[in-house]
Structure 1
Amino acid sequence: MSFYIRNQIILKKSFFILSLITSQFVFSQAARKYSNEFLNIGADARSFAMGNAVVANIGNANAAYWNPAGLTEVNYDWEASAMHAEYFQSIAKFDYAAVAIPLRESNSTIAFSLMRFGVDDILNTTELIDNQGNVNYDRISKFSTADYALTMSYAGNVFNNKYIQFGANAKVIYRHIGKFAQGFGFGIDLGIQYRTEDKMFFGVMARDITTTFNAWSINKQKVKEIVIDEPQNDGEPTILNDLPAENIELTMPKIQFGMGKRFDFNDRLSLLGEVDLSVEFQQTNAAISGKGFSISPQVGAELNYDEMIFVRGGLNNLQKIEQFNGKQQTQIQPNIGVGFKYKGISIDYALTNFGNSGIGLYSNIFSVRFEMDKWR
């Protein structure tokens, strides 16, 4: 059996096992449509600029988020990255940091990453009016609502085959809304990559294959039901802020498939392109959707000069948006960015969600990455 055929058999078996595990959890769990959405924002300005189409080609510390299989490319010395972004005119802040550490004895890599998405200094007016109906502005306080995720990753080669890489994430989630409520959760991601000698890239990332959960607890002394005298149709009093009856949230699995290729024009100039398909097991307003599924395409490219200067662009978030007149309009999110790398220090910038392609304002995203092996 030739080396190429053996690689193909191993690759197909790995993809089959990954898909089988994911589908089993999809149909065995009932999940809410939206949960832990902060985990879908993304990380790394390079990836944002490429329209998030990096599942197949990612190969640095940021692979802990996009596809842990890519961590095996960090195989000589440790590497670290960090990102800061602000959304909605700096109302919400998103921070991400990761470190990848190769284990040379076992030809594998471990990584740790932490992300926070939060809104701070929210005015708490729940005690503005006392029991007598008096307004006292001194009773106004401030609180924060924030989501945290700590991810522990492991990656290695499949059957010691250097062309096929496998990775897994274990996520611990903590979310809080001031002193009103807090939730804890746990989930697992799996990823696989296949790289050829002629610089073709293939990747699959299965998020939340265990149907990631959050267990919430509500401080009922801080959050009280507001009841008015006007009765409902059944004669029961009207409650303006009905407290949730359930305290468990389940996040449905998602799968992202990617295929990329690098073209070397000469010793200094090259072009990397990738096309991805993100699959959700629920109907959304994505470009391709039906009962129980949605498929969203993503495309990105990176022009590289001498491994020093990078120019990037990408398209993603292709959606069908219903207008006020009832008609549907197709919208797409363009992204652009640049990067600079010198002696193992990479500084990247992305401009995303700009123009009239979405309801949000444009965002400026910066990230930095440090490769220790370039300094040894």
Structure 2
Amino acid sequence: MNKNKALFTLTLVFALLFVWTVAEAGSSKRRGTAGAMELLIPIGSRNLAMGGSDIAGVSGVEAGYWNPAGLSQINNRVEALFSYQRWIGDINTVYAGVVAQLGRIGSLGFNLSSLDFGEINVTTTDAPDGTGETYTPQYLTLGVTYSKEMTDRINFGATIKLISESIMRQSASGLAFDAGVQYSMMDEKLRLGIAVRNVGTNMRFDGPDLEIKVQPPGTEPGAAQRPFRVPLQEFELPAQVELGLAHDVVASESIVWTVSGSFLHNNFSFDEYKLGTEFVLNEMFAVRGGYVLAQDPDEDTFYSLSEDFIFGPSFGFGLNYPLNATTHLKLDYAYRMTKFFDSHQLFTLSLGF
């Protein structure tokens, strides 16, 4: 009875969140109006190679991004992950995370991601080619995730993220909340996942560079200038809700073949339909592939690897090498085709002990 109540309560909560998110659906007028878009940069080579489709079975540190419910599904007491990726527009992303099993309490994880924009030339109206000075924006996201096995079939997880953005002397900060559920059926061969991401406070840039001195209108020439602050508009976070299924078509001691699919609803962009697959041999070598179709909710049109949706098919591989009886080293790689930019590549190194 308690298990059924837990499942009913979690399902009801996420159903309400789903209805609320769809009610805030992104029309063409809302598209591109959200900020803090670094929250949408994917983390974890395994699931990215599968098109981001496996929110129902994703586990370990990378689950902190896709579905925090999977954070409790680590095979070791402690797992650490480091990833580096070449993002579009010559932007590099560094991510580090760690999760620890705390027994009956559950699992607790911490992660930090940073964007590297490189040095950007300072330009002004008087020096459009540059003043000789440079600046480097600083974008940081710190996350804390808690996950627990509610029953032998239900996992729940939640993440709180602190977002910090600074450009020269202007900065903005905010809080975002993620939550997710994973439910196993058919002897864990069929899994259901639900995740809500980036629900939080609005953000607004502020700083001393927004203050300028101007001569008040209607005053005589040569009158003293007065300070004037340029007000900036608040922006919302890119909230998402995603539902997915994963099924182990083959699950033997030497071979595991998994197929997965999900539907992603974006408040400020196209909805996405994702498909992915993974083939694992002897728990040591994995090959993965994925495909994503984006749907314009206004025109009911689908896009992939086009001007309207720049991302296309993805693929990758993984190696799991046991250092000893309790320690495992994993190397994962993902490659996603993109239009206009160099293709998206993500490297992930994790250690479990």
Letter in structure 1 aligned against 2:94: D
Question: Counterpart in 2 of 1:132?
Answer: none
**Whole-Å separation in 1 of the counterparts to 2:22 and 2:167:** 29
Q: 1:226 to 1:55 in 2, by over 3 A?
A: farther
Secondary structure in 1 aligned to 2:117?
Answer: strand
Deviation at 1:55, TM superposition (A): 0.8
Deviation at 1:252, TM superposition (A): 4.7
Answer yes or no: is the 8 Å Cα contact 1:59–1:74 preserved in 2: yes
**Whole-Å separation in 2 of the counterparts to 1:267 and 1:74:** 19
Q: Are 2:333 and 1:349 aligned? A: yes
Structure 2 unaligned blocks of 5 or more: 216-228, 306-311, 323-327
Alignment of 1:352-367 (within 5 A): 352-354=336-338, 358-367=339-348
Secondary structure in 2 aligned to 1:152?
Answer: strand
Alignment of 1:280-299 (within 5 A): 280-281=266-267, 284=269, 286=270, 295-299=271-275
Alignment of 1:1-376 (within 5 A): 10-21=6-17, 23-24=19-20, 33-74=33-74, 76-88=76-88, 91-106=90-105, 108-126=106-124, 129=127, 139-158=131-150, 161-179=151-169, 181-196=170-185, 197-209=187-199, 211-220=200-209, 245-264=231-250, 266-281=252-267, 284=269, 286=270, 295-318=271-294, 330-332=303-305, 333-343=312-322, 344-354=328-338, 358-372=339-353
Deviation at 1:245, TM superposition (A): 3.4
Identity of matched residues, %? 21
Secondary structure in 1 aligned to 2:177?
Answer: strand
Secondary structure in 2 aligned to 1:353?
Answer: strand
CA displacement 1:141-171 (0-9 Å, x = unmatched): 111123211000101123xx12101111001
**Whole-Å separation in 2 of the counterparts to 1:42 and 1:226:** 44
**Whole-Å separation in 2 of the counterparts to 1:329 and 1:193:** 28
**Whole-Å separation in 1 of the counterparts to 2:214 and 2:25:** 33
Answer yes or no: is the 8 Å Cα contact 1:187–1:213 preserved in 2: no
Letter in structure 2 aligned against 1:274: S
**Whole-Å separation in 1 of the counterparts to 2:343 and 2:72:** 34
**Whole-Å separation in 2 of the counterparts to 1:198 and 1:50:** 19
Q: 1:312 to 1:16 in 2, by over 3 A?
A: same
**Whole-Å separation in 1 of the counterparts to 2:51 and 2:246:** 13
Deviation at 1:15, TM superposition (A): 1.7
Structure 1 unaligned blocks of 5 or more: 130-134, 228-242, 287-294, 321-327
Answer yes or no: is the 8 Å Cα contact 2:196–2:240 preserved in 1: yes
Moved more, 190-199 or 25-34: 25-34
Deviation at 1:54, TM superposition (A): 1.9
- What root-mean-square deviation, in Å, do the aligned CA atoms of Structure 1 and Structure 2 show? 3.1
Deviation at 1:265, TM superposition (A): 5.5
Secondary structure in 2 aligned to 1:214?
Answer: coil
Question: Counterpart in 1 of 2:309?
Answer: none
Q: TM-score, normalised by structure 1?
A: 0.76
Deviation at 1:71, TM superposition (A): 1.1
Answer yes or no: is the 8 Å Cα contact 1:217–1:247 preserved in 2: no
CA displacement 1:205-251 (0-9 Å, x = unmatched): 10123x34223213336x75999xxxxxxxxxxxxxxx963342222
Deviation at 1:194, TM superposition (A): 0.6
Q: 1:140 to 1:112 in 2, by over 3 A?
A: same
Give the aligned length. 321
**Whole-Å separation in 1 of the counterparts to 2:6 and 2:141:** 33
**Whole-Å separation in 2 of the counterparts to 1:305 and 1:226:** 69
**Whole-Å separation in 1 of the counterparts to 2:239 and 2:286:** 33
Answer yes or no: is the 8 Å Cα contact 1:44–1:82 preserved in 2: no
Q: 1:11 to 1:212 in 2, by over 3 A?
A: same
